[in-house]
Chains A and B, each alone.
Chain A
Amino acid sequence: GAGVSQSPSNKVTEKGKDVELRCDPISGHTALYWYRQSLGQGLEFLIYFQGNSAPDKSGLPSDRFSAERTGGSVSTLTIQRTQQEDSAVYLCASSRQGALGNTIYFGEGSWLTVV
């Protein structure tokens, strides 16, 4: 498809398990972002990838969270030893390049529920 694709759409996991969330950005977009949205809240920045540069990880809430971007395209967000407070929608976004004012396109998100 032409948009940002995320999988799974919904994931229910038990507390303490690891989860992986996948993001396929728009083809040709060099910038990729992960955000988190808790119920009824705004979005919280997690991590930003731009080309081959070192990612900006300043938004990751703890060392249980990590993300990779392989080959400058697909990205995986991994949450280890999930906790109930990790329950949220995880939104991936991409833009043509990392530049101020570029339009950022969001995926539909992965809804994570930790029980």
Chain B
Amino acid sequence: SQQGEEDPQALSIQEGENATMNCSYKTSINNLQWYRQNSGRGLVHLILIRSNEREKHSGRLRVTLDTSKKSSSLLITASRAADTASYFCATEGNAGGTSYGKLTFGQGTILTVHP
């Protein structure tokens, strides 16, 4: 199975609720990143957490990383209809050299926020 697997595959919530998405991975990483994709087009980088970090915040986003469990979570607080999108985690490995930017993506979580 693929490095960077997310669950749930789909999440439907009401505006104002919090949304939590999880990601698991298999190999050693340098960092883990979360991206957002609207309507199957370009990805937008949301947040990066390094392997020596446990938690990071950016606005309404909170990311945690547990390297012992090889897992991460993305929490979006006080969700808005505009947060409706697909969210992907991606890991960047530790091999160095030619591994820069060679991200391994999960299959994503489709988030729908109902107004």
Binding site for B on A (CB under 8 A): 4, 31, 33, 35, 37, 39-45, 48, 50, 56, 58-59, 89, 91, 93, 95, 98-109
Contact = CB atoms under 8 A, between A and B. Distances in A.
User: Which A-B residue pairs are the 8 nearest by beta carbons?
Assistant: A42-B105, A98-B100, A43-B105, A108-B42, A106-B43, A56-B98, A42-B107, A106-B42
B48 A103 contact: yes
Nearest to A92: B42
B88 to A, nearest CB: 6
Contacts of A58: 98
B48 A45 contact: no
Given A42-B2, A42-B4, A101-B92, A107 B102 contact: no
B102 A45 contact: yes
Nearest to A100: B30
Contacts of B2: 42
Contact of A89 (B30, B40, B102, B103): B40
Interface residues of B, number: 28
B42 A107 contact: yes
Given A42-B2, A42-B108, A104 B42 contact: no
Interface of B: 2, 4, 30-31, 35, 40-45, 48, 50, 88, 90, 92, 96, 98-108
A35 B90 CA distance: 13
Given A42-B88, A98-B101, A101-B50, 11 more contacts: A37-B40, A40-B107, A41-B107, A43-B105, A44-B105, A45-B102, A89-B41, A91-B42, A100-B30, A100-B31, A106-B44
Contacts of A102: 100-101
Nearest to A53: B98
A100 B92 contact: yes
A100 B100 contact: yes
Contacts of A103: 45, 48
B100 A42 contact: no
Contacts of A101: 30-31, 48, 50, 92
Contacts of B88: 42-43
